Amino acid sequence: MPLDEFPTAFFIKYVIMKILFLIFFLTLPTFSQNLPVDIGGSLFRYDEKNNLFEFYYSFNEKSLNYKYENGRQKGEIYFDLEIFYRDSLYDKKQWIVEHYKQNDTTDPNKDLIGQKNLLLPIGEILFKLTVKDLNDTSKISNVDFTINSRKFNNLELDLSDILIASKIEEFKPESANVNKLFIKEPFVIIPNPASQITDTNPKLYIYFEIYNALKIGNDSIRLSYEITDPMNKYVFSHRKTRKIKNDEFAEVMDINLNSIPSGVYYLNIIAKGFNQQKNKTSDFIAKSRRKFFLINPKMQPEKYNLFAENKDFASSEFATMGEEAANEEFEKISYIALPYELDLYRSCTTLEAKQRFLFGFWQRRDPDSTTAFNEGRMEYVNKIETANKNYSYGKSNNGWRTDRGKIFIKYGTPTQIDRKTQDGDNRPHEIWYYDRVLGGVSFVFVDIYGFGNYILVHSTAPGEIRNENWFQEYVIPNNLDATPKIIDRR
C-alpha cells in the first residue's frame, strides 16, 4: 500500500512532546500499545444510506523492525480493522504496509502516513484495530474507538468533518507517485492523523466540504473560522464570503499559528447561506468543530493550561472532594493512568492540587467536550459499579479493588471465561481470555482461601504477574508457600 513520507522534527516530536504530555495528553477510550501508531479520521457525505469515512494512520520509520530482502532492509506492518454496526461485524479490512529503508539507518524525521477509505452506514460504528510488526511479533497495538456516522442534512446547508492536514499542495503530473487517496483535485491533501502541528513556524492546514450550498436560493456562503482555547477564549478569528456555483464544493485554508502559544485548541467553522442580490442571510447555520494540538518551542503554553478553567473546576464534583475521597478516586484511576500521571498526582502537596489533577485527568478523557456529561468518566464509573456488583466478596463492596475487578476495569469484558469449581481438594480458579488485547492474552485467578476472593496468579499480558507454574503452586492443596508473595504484591 502506498504511503506518503512526511518529515517532522525529531527533537520537537519526542522531547518537547514528552514535556507537553504532562498537560495535554489525550487518550482513546480503549487502547494497548507498544507499537506507536497515530490514528485519525474524517467523515464525508456519500449518498442517502452511506457515508465516506477516511481512516488515517501514521508511524515513524524508526519504530519498525527491518529484515534484509534482496539486498534491502524491509519493514512490514500488518493492519486488521474490524468494523461493527448494531453489535454485529459489518466489515473487515486487512492490509500490509511495506517500507524499505533508504540506507542502514532509520530517519527519526520521517513519518509514514497512510489512508483507507471506508463506506459506512448511518449510525454508531465501533472499530477494533490491531496493528502488528511482522518482523517483531512482540510489537503490537490494539485500539478500540467509536464514531457517529451521522446522517447529513439533505435540505439545509451542512458541513463535513474538518480534515486537518500535514500538507496541502497543488496536484501536478509529477505528483503521480503519491497515494491516490490523498488526491482531491486540484489538491494533494496529506492527512495529519494525530491532529498535531509541531513546528517553529506552525500553520494549520484544513480541508472540508460544504453540502447543499445552493439550497433556498443561496449564491454565496459566509464562512467564519474561529480558534478557541480550553477556556473558550478566542485566539484567532477570520471571516470570508465565497461565491458558489455548485451545490457541493470543497474549501481549503491554511492559518498561521505563529502568535498562538503551544497548547490544545478547537477550530470552529460556521457557515451561513447568503443571497448577495437580495442582501439576505439564511437563518440556518451549519457548524463543524475539531480539536488540535499545537507544539511550538518558541511559544510555551500559558500557565492556565496546566489545569482546566477555574469556572468549570469550581462547579465540578472534584472541587468539593476531601483528602480521603480524592485519594480513593486516584486509586480508582490508577488502573488506567499513565506513569507520568501517577508521578504527577503523588507530587501534589495540597488538596486543591489533587482536586485539580483529578478534574484535568477526566477532562483530557472527555470524548466530546460539547456535551454536558463526560462520557469517558461515566463509562469508567459504570465499570467500577459493575466490578463492585460482580467481584466483591464477603461483606465488602469494593469489587473494584479485587484482582478480577482491576483486570475488568483495565481491559474490559473478557472474550471467554473458563471457570473451574472446586475439584476434590483443588482450589476453584478462573481463566480469562482476551482475544483482542495485545494479540491475545490470558489471566488466571485462584480462590486461595475459599472466601470468594480470586487472586491473580499468572498472566501472559506484559506488566502483569507471570508464573507458568501457577497450577502446581496455587491450585493444588498444601502448596501455599508462594502465597505471601501475592499478598506482598497487593
pLDDT one-digit tens code per residue, 366-387:
877 666 678 888 889 999 999 9
**Grid cell digits, residue 90:** 459489518
The residues spanned by each domain of the chain are: 4-303, 307-365, 377-489
Q: What is the mean pLDDT of the chain?
A: 84
DSSP tag of 59: E
Mapped onto helix, strand or coil, the DSSP state of residue 122 is coil
Name the pLDDT band for 132 (thresholds 50, 70, 90): very high
For the domain made up of 4-303, the CATH class stated in words is mainly beta
Instruction: Give residue 141's pLDDT.
Output: 87
Say which range, 22-26, 145-149, 177-181, 307-311, has the weakest mean pLDDT: 22-26
pLDDT of residue 29: 41
Q: What letters, b where the CB count within 10 A reaches 16 and e where it falls short, cover 21-51?
A: eebbbeeebbebeebebbbbbbbbbeeeeeb
Q: What is the average pLDDT across 104-123?
A: 84
The answer on pLDDT for 480 being more than 60 is no
Candidate ranges 248-257, 422-431, 432-441, 474-483; pick with highest mean pLDDT: 248-257
* Interval 401-430 mean pLDDT: 90
pTM attached to this predicted model: 0.64
Q: pLDDT value at position 311? A: 57
Look at residue 310 in the predicted model and tell me its pLDDT: 55
> H or E stretch including 228?
strand 220-228
pLDDT greater at residue 8 or residue 82: 82
* Measured CA angle at 465 (ends 461, 466), to 5 deg: 75
Reference 78, options 128, 21, 133; nearest CA is 133
